[in-house]
Structure 1
Amino acid sequence: IYQAFWIYPYTPLASKEVERAESPDQDNKISILSSNVFMPNENYHKLLSHVKDTQPDFLVTLESNKRWQNALAELNSDYPYQKHCPLENLYGMNLYSKVPLDTVELHYFVEDDVPSFKVTFTKNNSTVTIFFLHPKPPSPTENKRAKPRDIELDLVGNMVCDYEEPVIVAGDLNDVAWSPTTRKFRKVSGLLDPRIGRGFYNTFHAHYPLIKWPLDHLFHSSHFSLVDIRKLGDIGSDHYPLLTTLQLKE
């Protein structure tokens, strides 16, 4: 019963937290494809196929190493604005953007081997900020305690809570949407979850039918309405890609 209370908002029975864009406007749309590629995975063509089919404005690949960066080099002409931090520790991150970026920052908010990106760009005279995150999970094989992940979410939540212009936080947070840590992040940051009232959008585990969790997220400020959110098909990773399209309100 206790768990049902927390997961109920992520069912279609609950009220939607983010309104649907009534008349999608191409000039105001922002689409973000977030994909934890699983570093040993070599099915590059599957992710490339999704990118070609959906044409997102932003692609962020998590668990990216130099091999993945080289394999996605064919995107360079369509996505000329990039930031790369390839690593061999399962926490590399590569960003590809069709949109000209005003600023691109590489941060190590908590741990010196876990990068995050912060980018800004201009959309209809507004400065939009996006944080891309991938904190370590509290698992016996990786981080033995949740504290660094929780600190990172607290830090970013406190950073964005005072933003007056549009802001988005996206990535693999290694946590479910209804956990105490993520609920605290949403409360502190004031950001909205477009999945509320729509569904779980479970992105992990891609290969175990009976074990599914929504570990990949996108939260945003009230400046946006939702055009579409969907989980894309298997790319050979243990995560499914998550594609979210928002519309900046007039």
Structure 2
Amino acid sequence: MPIAPRRGPVALAYRVLVLPGVIAYLFTVSIVVLAADRFWLVDLLTFAWPYVVVTGALLVVAALVTRRIKAIVMAVAGLAVALIPAADVPTARLSTAASGLKVLSANLYVLNAQSPETFIDLLRREKPDIVVMQETTRRFVDAITAARLFPYESQFDPSTRDGIKVYSQLPIRAQTALQRAFTEEDAYKQPLRLELDARGKPLFLYAFHPETPRRLWQWRDRNDYLAAAADAVKGDLEKAPVIVAGDWNTPTWSPFFRNFLKQAGLASTAGGWLQPVTRFSLKLAPLAYIGASIDHIAVSPDITLTARRIGPDFGSNHLPVIAELSLPES
């Protein structure tokens, strides 16, 4: 005897929306997880990955409402696949010890119209030991230097160093621009490497600001930038602790972020898939911070994390990242 098909709004939603939706979702997240390291447009989807995960959770709820095993299994499988990138990120060890070093990283935004005093007030409140800035303009450099908050600063002109500028309470022993071979015609960006004096012991600091991958050549150059820096960091790890901070233009969920950490031997100070947005749309800012987490602070395994948080808006399209760290005794 033939079985009559189920009818009603739930059955209709299952056939028209839920089942096609979970199939498309499972296919899409599987492609991204498997192929984002090979295809530019696929990797760009990782910038929206938290929203992709939320979509997967909603599809699981919708599948449960339909009570169809096929939809439930595929929805749960899709959500599980979407969570893989976050689960694969090496994260820094937590510590209850008092913070010995506070690092603040901020992209100042070259078109920032607010007074530098807003950012300087943040520095006065937070009292960071190290400040790593990107898209730094002469207006901000003059104001921060005049405030006399830091006895040491990087000597490279930020206008010729891709807007990278570092201020420090720790003495700067040496600073160099990492020299990497360029494979793209318009490539020019180089990480800034500083050797700091941490209570008589060396501490290496890398300041990052690779290309934003809006175009294919920029995506390739960003990936080359991270790969070259990873090799340099790995060499420095044999000598002293390492901190890498800046606007990486690479979301936490990109395979290139994970590959860098594993290749360099570092750990992210942020963990989990639900991370605060650090780069957001200024047009949507009055409603909510809609964007991606692309500003990072990573550390060597011998550095532990006491606290990490996102700072307040200061007129940029990025929010500052603040990490309180504990350095090894030896």
- Structure 2 length normalisation: TM-score? 0.66
Higher-Rg member (1/2): 2
For structure 1, which segment, 129-138 or 65-74, has the greater mean C-alpha deviation from structure 2 after superposition?
A: 65-74
CA RMSD of aligned residues (A): 2.4
Structure 2 match to 1:13: none
Helix, strand or coil at the partner of 1:72: helix
**From 222, 241, 250, the counterpart of 2:301:** 222
Compared CA separation, residues 74 and 199, structure 1 to 2 (3 A): farther
Label 1:52 to 1:139 Cα distance change in 2 as closer, same or farther (>3 A): same
Where does residue 73 of structure 1 map in the other structure? Answer: 145
Q: 2:176, 2:328 → 1: CA distance?
A: 26
How do 1:42-121 residues align onto structure 2 when only pairs under 5 Å count? 42-43=113-114, 44-75=116-147, 77-83=148-154, 84-87=156-159, 91-107=162-178, 109=180, 110=182, 113-121=188-196
- Pairing partner for 1:157 from 222, 225, 230: 230
Q: Which runs of 5+ in 1 are unaligned?
A: 11-15
The secondary structure found in structure 1 opposite 2:133 is strand
Matched, 1:240 2:319: yes
The code of the aligned residue for 1:236 comes to: G
Separation (CA, whole Å) in 1 of partners of 2:138 and 2:200: 36
2:104 aligns to what? 33
Change in CA separation of 1:40 and 1:17 when aligned onto 2, cut-off 3 Å:
closer
- Structure 1 counterpart of 2:220, from 140, 147, 150: 147
Amino acid at match of 1:105: T
Q: 1:198 to 1:225 in 2, by over 3 A?
A: farther
Deviation at 1:211, TM superposition (A): 2.4
Query: For 1:66 and 1:107, how far apart are their aligned partners in 2?
Result: 23
CA deviations on 1:56-77 (whole Å, 9 max, x unpaired) are 01112210122221232333x2
Deviation at 1:19, TM superposition (A): 2.6
Distance 1:108 1:52 in 2: 34
Residues 39 and 145 of structure 1: is their aligned pair in 2 closer, same or farther, counting only changes over 3 Å? Answer: closer
Q: How many residue pairs end up in the alignment?
A: 238
Identify which of structures 1 and 2 has the higher relative contact order when contacts are C-alpha pairs closer than 8 Å and 6+ apart. 1
| Distance in structure 2 (CA, Å) of the matches to 1:138 and 1:63 | 16
Task: Name the aligned partner's letter for residue 112 of structure 2.
Answer: N
Distance 1:198 1:148 in 2: 26
Task: Please state whether the residue corresponding to 1:223 is helix, strand or coil.
Answer: coil
> 2:98 maps to which residue?
24
TM-score calculated relative to the size of structure 1: 0.85
Cα contact 1:9–1:197 (8 A) shared by 2: no
CA contact (8 A) 2:109 2:316 kept: yes
1:5-16 maps to which residues of 2 (within 5 A)?
Answer: 5-7=84-86
Query: For 1:135, what is the secondary structure of its paired residue?
Result: coil
Structure 2: segments with no counterpart, 5+ residues: 1-77
1:34-82 CA-to-partner distances (Å, cap 9, x unmatched) read 110111113212211110000001112210122221232333x231211
1:191/1:20 CA distance change after superposition, 3 Å: same
Given the alignment of the two structures, is residue 174 of structure 1 paired with residue 245 of structure 2, yes or no?
Answer: no
For the residues of structure 2 that align with 1:198 and 1:166, how far apart are their CA atoms? 27
Cα separation, partners in 2 of 1:78 and 1:211, compared to 1, 3 Å:
closer
Distance 1:249-1:199 versus aligned 2 partners, 3 A rule = farther
Partners of 1:18 and 1:114 lie apart in 2 by: 27
Matched, 1:186 2:261: yes
Alpha-carbon distance in 1 for matches of 2:253, 2:303: 22
| More strand per residue | 1
Tell me how far apart the structure 1 counterparts of residues 149 and 255 of structure 2 sit (CA, whole Å). Answer: 40
**Separation (CA, whole Å) in 1 of partners of 2:123 and 2:104:** 8
